[in-house]
Structure 1
Amino acid sequence: MNETFVTLSGWLGNDVSVRQAADVPVASFRVASTPRRFQRSTQTWEDGDTQWYSVNAWRALAENCEQSLRRGDPVVVHGKLSAHVWTNKAGLEVTTFEIEAAFVGHDLNRGTSRFQRRKPVVASDGASTEEVPADAA
């Protein structure tokens, strides 16, 4: 099966929410992407229609998104795109787009960010499943 991967830049429409799915953290958030086009005839920039995407990030990426992203942040998301068609209460057919994120980051065209590496915590039995920020260890 072929899968469609996309990269989009936009603005976080809400704070990240995290839930557990089979004991695995899943972060969910919405990204708004509005294309801009230069109109030669008027020598002005015009905004196109804003498109909204639901984004899900799993495991460590979910936790990092929760700690790093806030509503209104400029972001870049890369992942698998899927479309879902459903009928709303008014009886209209609606298509929503969802991205299962592989990579998420701040859009550094719009500002600066500081990276903080996470390092694994090694338990007494040698297992290392939990991670903490590097400066917290």
Structure 2
Amino acid sequence: MNETQSTVRGTVITDPTTRRVGDDQVFSFRVASNTRYQDRATGEWKTGGTLYFSANCWGRLGQRAAGTLCKGDGIIIHGRLLTNEYEKDGRLLRDLEMRVTALGPDLSRMDVTVRRATSDESAPATGGDHGEGPAEGPGEPPDPEEVMRLGSQDDDGSEPAQDRPVEFAEVARV
């Protein structure tokens, strides 16, 4: 089978949702990714065409990502690209999907708080087509010394568009 793996830098453009599909849980959102380039003649930054697609995080990745992303967040995602075909009103339609295997914040666009996974949480993914890992729950709360603050600037050197901190780690929800 020919699988196209890709890494994309983009923006979350919908409010993420979590839903059940059979026995699995999937965390989904839409992504927009466009190219930015500097016009050689004028020196000004321009935006190229935009790629839109659905991103689906299955299993442990979906559990960890749920509650950490918001509409407007800059992300970098990696996964398998698929084209889904379906019929609507007698017309054949196609839609692009990424089955996400890795996901992270775009540090050039936001400040992020990171918590390192415990040894149980960092175990390699096993089984299943979706890359879900073992079913154990979240680890112990992080040691304050393990939490660090990261940040950067946009490509053009300006301050990040979003300056709110984001906890981008597994969080125990009540």
User: What is the RMSD of the two structures over their aligned residues, measured on CA atoms?
Assistant: 2.3
Which residue number corresponds to residue 38 of structure 1?
38
What one-letter code is carried by the residue in structure 1 that aligns with 2:23?
A: D
CA contact (8 A) 1:12 1:75 kept: yes
Q: 1:133 to 1:68 in 2, by over 3 A?
A: farther
SS of the equivalent of 2:114 reads: coil
Partners of 2:93 and 2:22 in 1: CA distance:
29
Is 1:102 the counterpart of 2:108? The answer is no
Structure 1 residues 41-52: aligned runs within 5 Å: 41-52=41-52
Using the size of structure 2 for normalisation, the TM-score is 0.64
**Of residues 137, 140, 164 in structure 2, which corresponds to 1:134?**
140
Partners of 2:65 and 2:88 in 1: CA distance:
30
CA contact (8 A) 1:83 1:95 kept: yes
- How many residue pairs were aligned? 128
SS of the equivalent of 1:63 reads: helix
Name structure 2 gaps, 5 residues minimum. 122-133, 142-171
Q: 1:29 to 1:133 in 2, by over 3 A?
A: farther
Partners of 1:47 and 1:109 in 2: CA distance:
17
CA contact (8 A) 1:18 1:27 kept: yes
Partners of 1:19 and 1:110 in 2: CA distance:
28
SS of the equivalent of 2:66 reads: helix
Which residue number corresponds to residue 125 of structure 1?
none
Q: 1:8 to 1:108 in 2, by over 3 A?
A: same
Question: How far off its partner does 1:99 sit?
Answer: 0.2
Which residue number corresponds to residue 114 of structure 2?
115
Structure 1 residues 6-85: aligned runs within 5 Å: 6-85=6-85
Partners of 2:89 and 2:107 in 1: CA distance:
40
CA contact (8 A) 1:76 1:107 kept: yes
SS of the equivalent of 1:64 reads: helix
The structure with the largest strand share of the pair is: 1
CA contact (8 A) 1:16 1:65 kept: no
Q: 1:43 to 1:86 in 2, by over 3 A?
A: farther
1:17-48, CA deviations, whole angstroms, 9 ceiling, x for partnerless residues?
11111221111101111111221122211111
